[in-house]
């Protein structure tokens, strides 16, 4: 029997259709339908200046909105052969890590909601509000921050704000230790997540899984290692696990939160003085730039022509993670409830994942050039 879930369903926050092929209560395999939130962002961006595009890049995804602006800004900086001043780079790191913490907390709390453990769901959301306060203190907004510009950041941070953020991080750390223990050692929650939705390392490679989902399956790959700011200024080691089940994915995200807190502390303590923005003369050319978003690798491929953006292509981590979730995790899951929980651990973000590709079924060809531009 085929059990459809979505697009509007109590278990899902975003529109997506999940078709589960079931035999009794057992889920044999799953199929996913996209296409509910395609807005055509890449097409709107063409032929506009970066001042107009950076707002659009921010609205690719609401949860990891910060990383998109940073990647877009760094792409244009790379084309123009400039680098943001070091103070701006440190401020970007602070905001990036704060954004990662709130995203991981939200992802884990969604998982606990999906497996019907409301207590941890509420605990994690209340911790998340501290981080949202810190983000608001620094940038002025909670979700879409408008904080990055090409060549630096928009506003400078004052010492008062940075001290307040350090205070808030102390609160978060104190609470979070207890909540992680509840999950890790609790028989009801921890044991229910072990050996459910297992994805091995080979399957993760085949499904192109990235971010915490890939790292939980043994792919030791974190793009922050290669990023120039992290490589030159911070001590950083990627966190990874071998098991590849729901427990490993959730714990991997939990383990990355103290690491991000540590990175914020390092950045605030070593914050250099100086400018926060340089003047940039936009060059022409083609550049591919990768960054580590909370969900994994995000790639911007941009081609500029003087001041205008000629062509841009955005690849977000969600599409690979959701694909590998449907193909490898949702295979021989014991119950439908476990299948929904497994889907939630893949941290799906549908708004990121909507790209158009036209597939010619007879020839088996895929074309992305739907407007016949080239």
Partner 1 sequence: MLNTFKDIVRKSSIHVCLVNCGGCNGCDIEIVALLSPRYDLEQYGIYVHNNPREADVILITGAVTEQWIKKIKRIYSKAPEPKVVACVGNCPLSGDVFNQEGGNVHAPVSDFICVDAEISGCPPRPSEILEAILTVAPGAIASRGREANGKNKKNQVTGGK
* Binding-site positions: 42, 61, 64, 314, 349, 352
Q: Which of 60, 172, 198, 293 binds partner 1 (CB under 8 A)?
A: 60
Q: Which of 5, 18, 32, 63 binds partner 1 (CB under 8 A)?
A: 63
126 makes contact with partner 1 (CB under 8 A): yes
CA dihedral sign, ordered 336, 342, 346, 348: positive
352: region left, alpha or beta (phi > 0 left; psi from -120 to 50 alpha): alpha
**Least Å distance between CB 146 and partner 1?**
10
At a CB cut-off of 8 Å and minimum separation 6, what does 232 contact? Answer: none
310 makes contact with partner 1 (CB under 8 A): no
Annotated binding site for Fe cation: 64, 352
Find tokens 């700011």 and name the residue: 229
Triad 34, 367, 66: Cα angle to 5°:
55
Annotated binding site for Ni(2+): 61, 64, 349
**Least Å distance between CB 143 and partner 1?**
4
131 makes contact with partner 1 (CB under 8 A): no
Q: Is the Cβ of residue 359 or residue 363 nearer to partner 1 in the bound state?
A: 359
**294 HSE (CA, 13 A, CB side):** 29
Nearest to 241 by CA among 225, 222, 258: 222
CA dihedral sign, ordered 353, 359, 364, 367: negative
Q: Is the peptide bond before 7 cis (omega within 30 degrees of 0)?
A: yes
**Least Å distance between CB 214 and partner 1?**
22
Q: How many CB atoms lie within 10 A of CB 304?
A: 22
Annotated binding site for Mg(2+): 42, 314
55 makes contact with partner 1 (CB under 8 A): yes
Q: Which of 3, 28, 44, 334 binds partner 1 (CB under 8 A)?
A: 44
Q: Which of 19, 37, 168, 311 binds partner 1 (CB under 8 A)?
A: 37
What is the binding site for partner 1 (CB under 8 A)? 7-15, 35-41, 43-44, 46, 55-56, 59-63, 65, 106, 110, 121-122, 125-126, 128-129, 132, 142-144, 349-351
């Amino acid at each position: 029997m085929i059990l459809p879930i979505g697009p509007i369903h109590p278990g899902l926050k975003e529109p997506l259709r999940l078709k589960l092929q079931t035999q009794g209560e057992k889920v044999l395999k799953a199929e996913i339908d996209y296409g509910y939130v395609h807005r055509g962002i890449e097409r709107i961006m063409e032929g506009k200046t970066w001042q107009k595009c950076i707002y659009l890049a921010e609205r690719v995804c609401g949860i990891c909105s910060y990383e998109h602006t940073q990647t877009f800004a760094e792409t244009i900086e790379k084309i123009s052969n400039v680098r943001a001043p070091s103070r701006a780079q440190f401020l970007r790191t602070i905001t990036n890590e704060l954004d990662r913490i709130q995203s991981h907390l939200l992802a884990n709390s969604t998982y606990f909601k999906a497996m019907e453990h409301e207590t941890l769901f509420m605990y994690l959301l209340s911790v998340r509000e501290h981080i949202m306060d810190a983000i608001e203190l620094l940038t002025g907004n909670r979700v879409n921050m408008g904080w990055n510009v090409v060549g630096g950041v928009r506003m400078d941070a004052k010492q008062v704000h940075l001290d307040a953020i350090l205070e808030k991080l102390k609160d978060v750390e104190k609470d979070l230790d207890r909540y992680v223990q509840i999950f890790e050692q609790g028989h009801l929650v921890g044991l229910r997540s072990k050996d459910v939705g297992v994805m091995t390392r080979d399957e993760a490679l085949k499904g192109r899984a990235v971010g915490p989902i890939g790292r939980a399956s043994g792919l030791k790959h974190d793009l922050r290692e290669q990023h120039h700011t992290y490589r030159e200024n911070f001590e950083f080691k990627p966190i990874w696990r071998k098991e590849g089940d729901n427990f490993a994915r959730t714990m991997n995200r939990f383990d990355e939160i103290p690491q991000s807190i540590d990175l914020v502390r390092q950045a605030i303590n070593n914050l250099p003085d100086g400018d926060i923005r340089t003047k940039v003369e936009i060059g022409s050319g083609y550049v591919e730039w990768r960054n580590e978003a909370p969900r994994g690798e995000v790639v911007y491929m941009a081609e500029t022509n003087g001041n205008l953006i000629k062509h841009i292509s955005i690849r977000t981590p969600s599409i690979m993670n959701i694909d590998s979730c449907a193909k490898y995790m949702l295979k021989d899951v014991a119950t439908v409830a476990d299948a929904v929980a497994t889907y939630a651990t893949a941290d799906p973000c549908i708004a990121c994942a909507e790209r158009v590709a036209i597939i010619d079924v007879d020839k088996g060809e895929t074309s992305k050039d739907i407007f016949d531009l080239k």
